[in-house]
Chains A and B, each alone.
Chain A
Amino acid sequence: QSALTQPASVSGSPGQSITISCTGTSTDIGVYNFVSWYQQHPGKAPKLMIYDVSNRPSGVSTRFSGSKSGNTASLTISGLQAEDEADYYCSSFTSDITEVFGGGTKLTVL
């Protein structure tokens, strides 16, 4: 059960859009649409931002969107705001009937 692969860091200026990738395999992201994304501010618990690849929970800004192509899922944040600066984690269900997280991506708003 290897961790999903995310870039260690991404950055963008306020108002811009950024995309964070999450690469898995044909035994997780490639075969299941059970991909979620979490936002974690320092010292806080993670918060669900996207589930089932592209669904937003109630209360999550429409600036957050998710997609998937093959073995790679992506989180896009449009209209970057200072409050978006945080760590972001992807997760997926796997064919082993387990779950796996990505290593996390630190988003810096310049």
Chain B
Amino acid sequence: QVHLQESGPGLVKPSETLSLTCTVSGGSVSSDNFYWSWMRQPPGKGLEWIGYIYYSGSTNYNPSLKSRVTISLDTSKSQVSLKLSSVTAADTAVYYCAREKRWSYALDIWGQGTMVTVSS
């Protein structure tokens, strides 16, 4: 059974870089059938797609965040990382990683999510 677990600081200062890691267990991040994706959800609001990475290293990002986002993959550690630079209070949210079916763009397995607050 594939399991995803997000980890990282729960508090980030404005203008700094948010860094999160998603550890995948029970499955391979090198499968060509899946993307590895990040989403976020501000408190009391809806979901926002951030982007995804393929095992080859190719990425695709939300245009509204593209200038600040980097998603990377460490296959040796089965980890997917998210970096979001120059954060503001508007970036305060629960951040989720998920496995995405390549031919359906459906997020079939999600991590539990991790809350990140941007505040000085």
Contact = CB atoms under 8 A, between A and B. Distances in A.
Q: Do A and B bind each other?
A: yes
B46 A48 contact: no
Contacts, number: 60
Contact of A57 (B64, B108, B113): B108
Interface residues of A, number: 25
B64 A48 contact: no
Contacts of A97: 60
B107 A101 contact: no
A36 B112 CA distance: 19
A64 interface: no
Interface residues of B, number: 21
Contact of A89 (B46, B60, B61): B46
A75 to B, nearest CB: 14
Contacts of A46: 47, 96, 107, 110
A53 to B, nearest CB: 10
A38 B62 CA distance: 19
A106 to B, nearest CB: 11
Contacts of B46: 3, 89, 101-104
Interface of A: 1, 3, 34, 36, 38, 45-48, 51-52, 55, 57, 89, 91, 93, 96-104
Top 8 A-B pairs ranked by shortest CB distance?
Answer: A51-B106, A45-B110, A104-B46, A36-B106, A99-B49, A93-B105, A34-B105, A101-B47
